[in-house]
Amino acid sequence: MLTPLKGRAPFWPLDPNAAKLEDIEVWGDLAVKLSSRLCTVTLAVFEADYVARLAVRMPLKSLNVCAEQLPPALIDEVFAQPPLMTADIILWVWKNRKAHPALAHLLKLEHVVTALNLGRLPKAWGAGQRELHSQLLDKEDFQKYMVQAASDDVPTLVGALAGASTFTTGERQSLLVKLSRHSDKIREHLEAGAGSRILSAGGQGATATPVAAEPIYTSLASHRRLIQELHDIINIHQPENREALKTARAHGDFRENAEFDAAKERRNFLTRRRNELERDLARVNALDFRTIKPARFIDFGTTVELEISNGGTET
């Protein structure tokens, strides 16, 4: 009777599987209580299968409240093959793995890397990616689970990490060390040469053809700005953030502590930015462009004639 309402509002797309994330983002923009109420109304208007197919694509906080109102068997059926492997669905399965063991197949490193590599997602999905990134790098129980889920398929697990384009070289190296602590087979595989190939691939994949690194240049002013930003992060922002975390911890319950969540997110950002700056400053060369004489180069728009080694010419 009310089916024609589908597609008339962004929070009720005609086909949840085909809807753009930008249209579903309105669920993530709502406060948790309002999102829960909207889910209740949606269940009253449409069939539960429609809500489940919509929930599997939602940002984590909306996914949580909708999943609470859906039958567990339906969740196991619909969530088993999500149309888009987002960090949010992986985090939800991780946090509810005991209640939904049928979804354990989603908790694999290759799926985690796929979710982290997704780019240009709407803002509402950014928090999930940041949390999943932190889980993989910092949480020992999550790392152990990834190792156990891989079982004896060590090459697939290690190869998945090679394709993690969102990790810096330092993060990738750190994670390799942490994973090897949980598995002798992983350690042996890395010591056999796989670890070096992954680090040299830099996220291009373990079998990628190495590309000769080209020198990178920037102006003296730009180089000074990078150095100053790194200096400020190390000597100003990170100490301030540590104090903010101490203050937030003193408030008690972390689950309802918005200040603590904000300080943690700030810490993660500063850590990532520091890694980026240290990596860039190690690769970038400062150059005084005033010393370059244009006469030594070809101006844009100039036609030139090249002499080929075989005696011919080419314009």
Tens digit of each residue's pLDDT, the chain (315 residues): 455 678 778 789 888 888 888 889 999 889 999 999 999 999 999 999 999 999 999 999 999 999 999 999 999 999 998 888 999 999 999 999 999 999 999 999 989 988 998 888 888 999 999 999 999 999 999 999 999 988 777 877 777 777 778 888 788 888 888 888 888 888 887 777 666 666 555 544 433 333 344 567 788 888 888 888 888 888 899 889 888 888 887 776 655 567 878 888 888 888 888 777 767 766 667 777 666 665 556 665 666 677 776 666 776
Start-end of CATH 1.10.287.180 domains in the chain:
223-283
Instruction: Provide the 3-class DSSP secondary structure of residue 54.
Output: helix
DSSP state of 233: I
Mapping DSSP onto H, E and C, the string for 168-217 reads CHHHHHHHHHHHHHCCHHHHHHHHHHHHHHHHHHCCCCCCCCCCCCCCEE
The class (CATH top level) of 223-283 is mainly alpha
The predicted model scores a pTM of: 0.61
- Residue 314 forms beta bridges with which residues? 306
Of 270, 241, 244, give the one whose Cα is nearest residue 257.
Answer: 244
- Residue 307 forms beta bridges with which residues? 313
Judge residue 101's burial from the number of C-beta atoms within 10 Å of its C-beta, 0-12 exposed, 13-18 middle, 19 or more buried. Answer: exposed
If phi > 0 it is left, if psi is from -120 to 50 it is alpha, else beta; for residue 216 that is beta
Q: Phi and psi (nearest 5°) for 217? A: -120, 150
Q: Phi and psi (nearest 5°) for 277? A: -65, -45
Say which residue the tokens 């999102």 belong to: 35
CA gap 221, 79 in Å, rounded = 51
Instruction: Provide the 3-class DSSP secondary structure of residue 99.
Output: coil
Contact 9, 41 (CB under 8 A): no
Complete DSSP assignment for 75-86: HHHHHTS-SS--
User: Which token pair is 159?
Assistant: 């190869």
User: 216-219 and 313-314: which strand pairing?
Assistant: unpaired
Q: For position 209, what pLDDT does the model report? A: 38
User: Which token pair is 274?
Assistant: 């520091």
Of 73, 74, 79, give the one whose Cα is nearest residue 91.
Answer: 79
Q: For position 195, what pLDDT does the model report? A: 61
